Structure 1
Amino acid sequence: MRELQLPGRTVLVHDYLNQFGGAERVLETMHALAPHSPVYTSMYEPDAMPEEYRKWDIRPTWIDRLPGVRTNHQLVLPVYPMAFERLRVPECDLVLSSSSAWAKMVRPPEGAVHVSYVHSPMRFAWAFDQYCERERLPAAARNGLRPLMAAFRWRDRATLDRVDRFVANSTVVRDRI
């Protein structure tokens, strides 16, 4: 059986690399399919990620340079959409994004195909009340964040046309998309 490889001019995009979980395991699989591809992300905390990532071509956005952002990334929540929308990926054939929030908002270069693996639509925006309960946010924080979550939902819808194909890991996620 032949080993599958993605086109040589593939770019990977991932929300953030400051914790390791299921989304990062998916990114590892994507990277194995396109091992020479750069990985664009909002931030990268090498100490929080597997050692193997240090061999990758990881290119964080300007968010990565903000003080304290790697440990308190929620503090800059309002600027994530802007960072990904303004991200300029190089000329390529395929943009492959791994997203639970922002990565799918990237603008692919003209002529490139954008395939987005969506782990889940941004739960904190689309299921805000459940998110607040789980995180035990006080009422004042909930009320203060409601307009921001409405803006995130609007932006999420407005950027859907940047993706040529969505991939979901379940019918539940597919239906949420």
Structure 2
Amino acid sequence: MTGIIVHEWLEPHGGAEYVVEQLAAEYSQARIVCLWDDAPTRFAPGRVIETWLARTPLRRSKALSVPIMPFVWRRLKAPEADWMLCSSHLFAHHARFPRWKRTPQKFVYTYTPARYIWYPELDQRGNNPIVRLITPLLRRIDRARAREATSYAAISNVIAERIRECWGRESVVIYPPVDVTVFTSGSAADLTPEDAAILASLPDGFVLGASRFIPYKRLEDVIEFGRHTGAPVVLAGDGPHREELVRVAAASEAEVTFIPRPSQPLLREMYRRARVFVFPPVEDFGIMPVEAMATGTPVVARNVGGATETVVDGKTGALLADFSAESCRDALRRAEQARPEDCVARAWEFDRSVFLKNIRAWLPKT
């Protein structure tokens, strides 16, 4: 049986792109169809097929192109296949190839139903006036086209519930792949001299927060965690919220160190050196807690969202309801009781090998 992989759009970096990369390696004969490709060197020349949107200025504005995406997905062109695998967080699951003689089986790997239209409170791009105006229509179209799929897989139980709520469909849960080996191997000896100097400069006994610096990542709560527990804080990353975080850090009693855009080896060693990794956002899944556990470091996270499916409270970290002083101190105490070997063992449950095994069981035999 032949297949084709459908994805929203390709970026140079991103968790969804890593998923597509794994799928493309597993199904090496499958072509990849996307709205546009902003990572032209990621896959072999000629493997990726772009839509006509790629030749317009709309590729530079996702919010403005949202209203026409559902219609673009219905007029796709590609060599005929027996099945399609849609990697969807917006409208890729609407995919249709009208010139094909046979209707293929459609399998949808879902990161979330479109936040733009179903959960605008979670994505400010849904507040675009044009999107707001046509949201009722887009919801009707989205729900109707969701009926076409043969089967759904969700990245977490959180998303499985959204699929049920938005589309009225059941799904299996297949957690996204994490390259655990990257974080269980290597050592500080592998660092460049520049990265080694940064690592050596960090304070003893620090707690780590890391992500893109944007509001919904809630990195202010990592600073609060440090203030309440007396632990130095290291924040790794960068982004448009940086100035606000610097302001919050300056006004706080916590000792805060910023490490902009660390390399992956440096991030790995910061995970290892940290007392705990603090993960405040409410995510659909959350890759970074798994990465931290892969280095043997326990995780402190909120007791909602995807982190509740990866962090084992009292065994590989601690889940907390809020970042009050009492909650933070209790969470640090409980998290530090975790054994590194238990953290690593838990991380292996989300390795890319497990992901591919589950994908093979879900998709048709090829």
| TM-score interval, smaller chain | 0.7 to 0.9
CA gap of 1:161–1:52, structure 2 versus 1, over 3 A, is: same
Is residue 2:87 matched to residue 1:98?
yes
**In 2: Cα distance, 1:78 partner to 1:53 partner:** 28
Q: TM-score, normalised by structure 1?
A: 0.80
**In 1: Cα distance, 2:96 partner to 2:148 partner:** 6
Greater C-alpha radius of gyration:
2
**In 2: Cα distance, 1:19 partner to 1:121 partner:** 23
Is residue 2:121 matched to residue 1:129?
yes
CA gap of 1:89–1:96, structure 2 versus 1, over 3 A, is: same
**Structure number with higher relative contact order (C-alpha < 8 Å, ≥ 6 residues apart):** 1
2:48 to 38, 41, 58: 58
What does residue range 111-126 of structure 1 map to in structure 2 within 5 Å? 111-126=103-118
Q: What is residue 43 of structure 1 aligned with on the other side?
A: 36
Q: TM-score, normalised by structure 2?
A: 0.41
Quote how far apart the aligned CAs of 1:101 are: 0.9
**In 2: Cα distance, 1:26 partner to 1:93 partner:** 21
**In 2: Cα distance, 1:151 partner to 1:136 partner:** 14
**Aligned to 2:16, what secondary structure does the other structure show?**
helix
Aligned-residue sequence identity (percent) comes to 26
Structure 2: give runs of 5+ residues left out of the alignment.
Answer: 164-366
Structure 1: give runs of 5+ residues left out of the alignment.
Answer: 1-6
Q: Quick check: 1:10–1:96 contact (8 Å CA) kept in 2?
A: yes
1:34 to 15, 27, 34: 27
Structure 1 residues 127-146: Cα deviation after superposition (integer angstroms, max 9, x where no partner)? 123323xx695xxx45x532
Is residue 2:133 matched to residue 1:147?
yes
Quote how far apart the aligned CAs of 1:54 are: 4.5
1:170 to 153, 156, 176: 156
RMSD after superposition: 2.2
**Aligned to 1:147, what secondary structure does the other structure show?**
helix
**Aligned to 1:86, what secondary structure does the other structure show?**
coil
Q: What is residue 3 of structure 1 aligned with on the other side?
A: none
